[in-house]
Chains A and B, each alone.
Chain A
Amino acid sequence: MLDLMTGNAAAAKAAMLARVEVIAAYPITPQTSISEKLAEMVANGEMNAKYIKVESEHSAMAALIGASYIGARTFTATSSQGLALMHEMLFWASGARRPIVMPVVSRALGPPWNIWTDHMDVMGERDTGWMQLFCENNQETLDLILMAYRVAEDKDIMLPAMIIEDGFILSHTFEKVDVPAIEEIDFYLHPFNPDVKVNFRKPRRYGSLVMPDWAMEFRYNNALAMEKAKKKWVEAGIAFKKAFGRDYSSLVELYRCEDADVALIVAGSAAGTAKVSADRMRERGRKVGVAKLRAFRPFPTEEVMRLGEGVRTIGVFDRSYTFAQGGAIYGEVRNALYPMASDVRVKGYIGGLGGRDITEAEFEKMFEDLLAIAKSGSMSKDVEWVALKDGSYRW
């Protein structure tokens, strides 16, 4: 059914459609309306779930790890400082192979105190062993949460997943969303039934000490599961397309990249703006494309390499900074393309931090810059902060 809803309403709806059984959440802007909506749906009987009120995000994640051990389908949501407070428990969830699904409504970390979107919060958790997927719009938020349960609970995977929706830009924006019927979802997403469950009649110890002789092998299995998740996301995408018509069958969505001279890799809501910008450039005869990075973990190395085989000048737009060489996505893309380093140029753009608006005009400047690099074969800077007030930027 077509409806108009915010990203946060779509996230809460997805939890309801997935028949989530245990929710534990703590409020933080701009996530709060997800947990409020869920509390309302649990209270009025729309959802048959246990809602655990907790004193922090750390406790929320701890509660869900326990609930997931029982065999319950679990859900929480957070942002920014709340995600940072969860950090320790994020490792716990992935190491214990608990398929918890959590929308992260991305927001800058302070100081400077700031409630608006950027990806510093999620990139700070990139090495916790969670799957991380970015949404371009509210439809994707709803769809990817449903897909995430299917992949996360797959017996070969059993890893938690963050579904990332940009704070305010998606979370508080009303967009058209096609909401599947819960009966349709029941065919796509089966109940969670893990092999190992807590059984109170047969008490056991969970998460027990592992000595150095085997701890590394456990970690290796985590790594293998993340690698296998690439295929599972593609399969889940194909099944989703069959059931609902919307296509998520690739980890990198290519937009007008086939004959492009340059391509820009973008994750999240800015990908939509970049596509509009690419359309305008195409109207002026500029052959540019957008590669929308849907999955950051697992990282689609092969798909990025395939892009590099066709397009030799690639830009990466990051809404985060690593305090090393550019943004988080830029680092991964350059890493993936290193084997063909002599043929491919990769430029990093840092922008949209702390909620700074990224306009179509800014993307056009990035495309023009990339086209100039493609033409001359050289670039003066590897990484550039876009629309930075450095004296040359007009605002």
Chain B
Amino acid sequence: MIEIRFHGRGGQGAVVASELLARAAVMNRLHAAAFPFFGVERRGAPVTAFCRIDLKPIRTHSEIYFPDYVVVLDPDLVSMTNVLQGLKPDGALLINSAKESCDLQHVKWNKVATVDATSIAIKYGLGSENSPIVNTAIIGAFSKICPQVPLESVIESILKASPGDKKANAEAAKEAFETVKGVW
């Protein structure tokens, strides 16, 4: 089983990111479950969301403590919260950042990939300039580091269930997939 944790801010689409990713896995004939951190959702406040992907039906209903992947939708969160908490020793980190992974000051980890999802979201008019919605770009980039969820499934999922302009979101995912940096 693969377990993924998303860090974002309320309104950035972390919960939708986990849902779209789970949907992509299901479209790829896998089993998946996605859920938000069960609590109060507030715009701008740090939020987490989770996703499980497996070959077998997913029966466990407990929370995720030791993820295989951590995905960070907002680079500022890295200095505010311990995004590495519980990440498995061989686990991987994907951060929305214009920087290369070696230039990230707060992150000391082996497998780190970065993608400039904010610029991509603005380019495709997702959300607004002040609050771009980066979730579809980030899961496009994620499909590059997670072989179980190919880009085709992610795009199929976005075209079926993404809020907003589905085509623009799919384009953003594709561009993020192509421009993700630091893949090991």
Pick the contact of A174: B34, B61, B62, B65 (CB < 8 A): B34
Pick the contact of A270: B18, B36, B61, B161 (CB < 8 A): B61
Known contacts being A4-B22, A357-B63, A360-B60, is A172 close to B32, with CB within 8 Å? Answer: no
The residues of B that contact A360 with a CB separation of less than 8 Å are 60, 62
Closest to B50 in A: A173
Contact across chains for B38 and A116 when beta carbons are under 8 A apart: yes
Q: Is the interface of B mostly helix, strand, loop or mixed?
A: mixed
Closest to B19 in A: A174
Pick the contact of A272: B23, B32, B61 (CB < 8 A): B61
A136, B33: Cα distance in complex, Å: 14
Number of A-B contacts (CB under 8 A): 62
Q: How many residues of A contact B (CB 8 A)?
A: 25
Closest to A255 in B: B59
Contact across chains for B35 and A4 when beta carbons are under 8 A apart: no
Contact across chains for B60 and A174 when beta carbons are under 8 A apart: no
A4, B65: Cα distance in complex, Å: 23
Most buried by A among B19, B62, B63: B62
Most buried by B among A4, A276, A358: A4
For residue B58, CB closer than 8 A to chain A, the reply is yes
For residue B26, CB closer than 8 A to chain A, the reply is yes
Shortest C-beta distance, A379 to chain B (Å), equals: 26
Q: How many residues of B contact A (CB 8 A)?
A: 21
The residues of B that contact A358 with a CB separation of less than 8 Å are 62
Contact across chains for A273 and B60 when beta carbons are under 8 A apart: yes
Contact across chains for B26 and A272 when beta carbons are under 8 A apart: no
Chain B positions within 8 Å of A, measured between CB atoms, are 18-19, 22-23, 26, 31-36, 38, 57-63, 65, 161
Can you list 22 residue pairs at the A/B interface with Cβ under 8 Å?
A: A2-B26, A4-B22, A4-B23, A137-B59, A137-B61, A169-B35, A172-B35, A173-B35, A174-B18, A174-B19, A174-B23, A174-B32, A174-B34, A175-B58, A176-B31, A269-B61, A273-B60, A357-B62, A357-B63, A359-B62, A359-B65, A360-B60
Chain A positions within 8 Å of B, measured between CB atoms, are 2, 4, 116, 136-137, 166, 168-170, 172-176, 269-270, 272-273, 275-276, 355, 357-360
